Amino acid sequence: MKTFIKFTKISALGNDFILINDINNTIKKHLNSSVIYNLCSFHTGIGADGLITVSPDNEYDFRMFYFNSDGNEAMMCGNGARSAAYFAYLEHISLVSGRFRASDGLHQFTISDSVINVSLNVVDGHSIIDEEIDNKKVYFINTGVPHGILFVEDIKNIEVDIIGKKLRDYRGFDKKGANINFVQIIDRHNILIRTFEKGIEGETLSCGTGSTAAAIVSHYKSFTNPPINAINKSNEILKIDFKYVNNDVKDVTLEGNVKVTFKGIFDLYEY
């Protein structure tokens, strides 16, 4: 038996995803963690940092489901959200602006050519927690998913995978651990960032929620002022804007380019 499924591969500043149109709600139920893991494998599958289904929603334009490359569902992915909004527009599911639901709540989006702007939800934006771990000061915040932030002076020579693996399992902030971000301040509106993502278990070229977390914490530390440009490992820019009112974060948006890299069809039962 063969079940062919169409997909679109989208890159969001090097953070790449498999997008599937499931607006008729017929595909996601067949995508178990093993299938997703195999599809995301760069050597034996399509290859991606994650997989996204654009599914139906009773109130909003669509429902986004996001899965890391290990096959497990995650609450949110900032670059994935931007990719989902663009994909929904290309598939005539939504217009150039609208709203969608993800596991962490409601998001708004606008599209201008290939520049996608999405709103993000910050959990307890006033609750930035700092911890001393392995003689390193780490700041934790939840921007849809939990992130740890370390400020460094020479980001090019940081051993991201080695240090990231040691810190990602810290349970003091979230019982499932956290993504780990290394941040170097350039000036009041620009930062460099490299991210170790749990669920991918390595460094990614870009991370939307990580860049957002870094921007917010850098402002909290009085290093920067919004809007803030986060220059990722891909050497491309994510623009993060927000308001910081009474020690709380409001109106957070994430903006940057996306592009379709290719489209194809896979047989579900080959994975």
Does the pLDDT of residue 248 top 60, yes or no? yes
* pLDDT on residue 126: 61
pTM of the model: 0.94
Q: Where are the domains of the chain?
A: 4-120+258-270, 129-255
Residue 68 labeled ligand binder = yes
Smallest CA-to-CA distance from 71 within 198, 195, 199 is with 199
Chain-centre distance of CA 21, in angstroms? Answer: 19
Residue 256 labeled ligand binder = no
Q: 211 in helix, strand or coil? A: helix
Q: How is the chain split among helix, strand and coil, in percent rounded to 5?
A: 20, 45, 35
pLDDT digits (tens, 9 = 90+) for 58-102: 999 999 999 999 999 999 999 999 999 999 999 999 999 999 999
Instruction: Give the residue numbers marked as catalytic.
Output: 77, 207
Residue 25 labeled ligand binder = no
- Burial state string for 195-223 with b = 16 or more CB within 10 A and e = fewer than 16: bbbbbbeebbbbbbbbbbbbbbbbbbeeb
pLDDT tier, 128 (very low <50, low <70, confident <90, very high otherwise): confident
pLDDT digits (tens, 9 = 90+) for 162-208: 999 999 887 777 778 899 999 999 999 999 999 999 989 999 999 99
Residue 121 labeled ligand binder = no
* pLDDT on residue 224: 98
Fold (CATH) for 4-120+258-270: Diaminopimelate Epimerase; Chain A, domain 1 (3.10.310)
Q: Do domains 4-120+258-270 and 129-255 have the same CATH topology?
A: yes
Q: What would the mean pLDDT of 148-158 be, rounded to a whole number?
A: 96
* pLDDT on residue 199: 87
In CATH terms, is domain 129-255 a member of 3.30.450.370?
A: no
Pairwise CA distance, residues 125 & 244, whole Å: 9
Does the pLDDT of residue 1 top 70, yes or no? no
Pairwise CA distance, residues 77 & 156, whole Å: 25
Residue 229 labeled ligand binder = no
